[in-house]
């Protein structure tokens, strides 16, 4: 998952003498339009995801398993947007690297780590929702276990991204410097690069989305296509409605991620297996595809605000200085969010723990009676 225009198409031409016109030069108006488009991503993503992290971490009632993973997701997206979007844009404009070898390595290493962390945070949320809804009597992840899972996700992310940082290098190319990946085995028809790119596509796109899709399919069948007999109380229906809202929100988040990143993966796989030298055309296509992929980092805060009442209250509180935002009536709810009160899911976990205890007690009594 190389973030540069020339990815590994940089070849032995570095030894050529003379100056060749840079094929990536664009008119000023195009650069200005792309600059505005990429600036919107950075501003919305960084500000929005920081607010999401504040809403969850500063309010005790928001510190649930799902929301801890949302914090990790927000951190990964804000970091990628802040550290890579602008740099990638300036490099793609005319393919001249200004930032040195160290940042070249970081620029190739960190995005794939952040994307891996993002998609597997979504996967962890899907599996947690699956266990809570399909197997409600089984124990849920604790806060400590959730933090350990997040650390494991980042560990695997860094391991997967290590080759990109290791093989990234900067070389002079005519009158400019380029940041590219110097893969081994170039003489073997780019064998190792192809293996790596296909593996990345499978590990950070196809496989997690397959798992998420299966999990939410079973969840949807349980929440929408069937009813649990014997419980028609108001409390039960409130819990079902609350679960449906969370699942709907996460499905929108996952679908947004899938739509934004699919063209990116297709583009780079085609560049590796069907290379094309028409760089001027592909520069504009690359900028558009990269904008779409990077824009995935700014949509989630908007989705949370639109589909979740508590996130909406938090955003309204932050932007209460805007003349068209009325947050006065939500201050009481915001104060309640700061207090440690058992949520519906927590109450259900407590009730399920009580039921598990009763089931184990009954089973033990039956075993004793049989033994007698």
Of the candidate ranges 17-21, 148-152, 182-186, 292-296, the one whose mean pLDDT is the lowest: 17-21
Which of 100, 150, 75, 59 minimizes the C-alpha distance to 338?
59
- Token pair in block for residue 212: 């998420």
Q: Where do the domains of the chain lie? A: 7-13+23-362
Task: Summarize the confidence of residues 287-310 as an average pLDDT.
Answer: 94
Angle 237-239-244 from CA coordinates, rounded to 5°: 95
Cβ atoms within 10 Å of 27's Cβ, excluding its own: 8
Instruction: Return the pLDDT at 346.
Output: 52
End-to-end CA distance of the chain: 66
CATH number of 7-13+23-362: 1.20.1070.10
Instruction: Return the pLDDT at 192.
Output: 85
Indicate the pLDDT class of residue 360, thresholds 50, 70 and 90.
very low
Indicate the pLDDT class of residue 359, thresholds 50, 70 and 90.
very low
Instruction: Return the pLDDT at 174.
Output: 80
Task: Summarize the confidence of residues 42-69 as an average pLDDT.
Answer: 94
pLDDT by residue (tens digit) across 116-173? 999 999 999 999 999 988 988 888 889 899 999 999 999 999 999 999 999 999 999 8
Task: Summarize the confidence of residues 84-103 as an average pLDDT.
Answer: 90
Which of 87, 62, 157, 65 minimizes the C-alpha distance to 118?
157
Percent of all residues in the chain with a pLDDT value above 90, rounded to a whole number? 50
- Chain centroid to Cα 146, Å, comes to 17
Answer for the pair 171, 101: CB distance below 8 angstroms, yes or no.
Answer: no
Mean pLDDT of the chain: 82
pTM over 0.85: no
SS (HEC) of the chain: CCCCCCHHHCCHHHHCCCCCCCCCCCCHHHHHHHHHHHHHHHHHHHHHHHHHHHHHHCCHHHCCHHHHHHHHHHHHHHHHHHHHHHHHHHHHHHCCCCCHHHHHHHHHHHHHHHHHHHHHHHHHHHHHHHHHHHCCCCCCCCHHHHHHHHHHHHHHHHHHHHHHHHHEEEEEECCEEEEEECCCCHHHCCHHHHHHHHHHHHHHHHHHHHHHHHHHHHHHHHHCCCCCCCCCCHHHHHHHHHHHHHHHHHHHHHHHHHHHHHHHHHHHHHHHHCCCCCHHHHHHHHHHHHHHHHHHHHHHHHHHHHHCHHHHHHHHHHCCCCCCCCCHHHHHHHHHHHCCCCCHHHHHHHHHHHHHHHHHHHHHHHHHHHHC
Q: Which residues contact residue 24 at a Cβ distance below 8 angstroms, ignoring those fewer than 6 apart?
A: 5, 92, 93, 94, 95, 279, 280, 283
| Long-range contact pairs involving 268-271 (C-beta distance under 8 Å, separation at least 24) | 268/1, 268/2, 268/7, 268/197, 269/197, 269/198, 269/201, 271/7, 271/9
pLDDT by residue (tens digit) across 62-83? 889 999 999 999 999 999 999 9
Between CA 179 and CA 36 the distance in angstroms is 24
Instruction: Return the pLDDT at 355.
Output: 47
Instruction: Return the pLDDT at 186.
Output: 65
| Tokens 């860094």 belong to residue | 158
Between CA 128 and CA 247 the distance in angstroms is 11
pLDDT by residue (tens digit) across 317-337? 899 888 887 766 665 666 666
Of the candidate ranges 112-121, 315-324, 358-367, the one whose mean pLDDT is the lowest: 358-367
Q: Which residues contact residue 128 at a Cβ distance below 8 angstroms, ignoring those fewer than 6 apart?
A: 65, 66, 69, 140, 141
């Amino acid at each position: 998952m190389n973030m540069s225009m020339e990815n590994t198409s940089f070849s032995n031409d570095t030894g050529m003498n003379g100056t060749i016109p840079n094929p990536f030069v664009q008119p000023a108006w195009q650069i200005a339009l792309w600059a505005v488009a990429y600036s919107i991503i950075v501003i919305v993503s960084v500000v929005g995801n920081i607010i999401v992290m504040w809403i969850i971490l500063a309010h005790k009632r928001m510190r649930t398993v799902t929301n801890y993973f949302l914090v990790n997701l927000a951190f990964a997206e804000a970091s990628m947007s802040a550290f890579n979007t602008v740099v990638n844009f300036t490099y793609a404009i005319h393919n001249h690297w200004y930032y040195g070898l160290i940042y070249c390595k970081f620029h190739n290493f960190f995005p794939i780590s952040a994307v891996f962390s993002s998609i597997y945070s979504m996967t962890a949320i899907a599996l947690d929702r699956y266990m809570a809804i399909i197997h409600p009597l089984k124990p849920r992840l604790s806060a400590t276990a959730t933090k350990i899972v997040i650390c494991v996700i980042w560990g695997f992310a860094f391991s997967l991204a290590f080759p990109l940082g290791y093989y990234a290098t900067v070389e002079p190319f005519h009158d400019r410097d380029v940041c590219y990946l110097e893969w081994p085995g170039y003489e073997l028809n780019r064998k190792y690069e192809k293996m790596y790119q296909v593996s990345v596509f499978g590990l950070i796109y196809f496989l997690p989305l397959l798992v998420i899709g299966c999990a939410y399919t079973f969840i949807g069948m349980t929440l929408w296509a069937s009813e649990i007999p014997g419980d028609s109380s108001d409390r039960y229906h409130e819990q079902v409605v609350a679960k449906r809202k969370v699942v709907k929100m996460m499905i929108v988040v996952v679908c947004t991620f899938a739509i934004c990143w699919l063209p990116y993966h297709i583009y780079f796989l085609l560049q590796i297996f069907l290379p094309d030298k028409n760089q001027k055309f592909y520069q504009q296509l690359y900028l558009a595809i990269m904008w779409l992929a990077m824009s995935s980092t700014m949509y989630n805060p908007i989705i949370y605000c639109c589909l979740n009442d508590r996130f909406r209250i938090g955003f309204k509180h932050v932007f209460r200085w805007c003349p068209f935002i009325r947050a006065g009536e939500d201050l009481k709810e915001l104060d309640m969010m700061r207090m440690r009160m058992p949520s519906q899911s927590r109450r259900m976990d407590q009730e399920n723990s009580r039921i598990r205890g009763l089931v184990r007690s009954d089973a033990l009594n039956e075993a004793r009676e049989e033994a007698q």
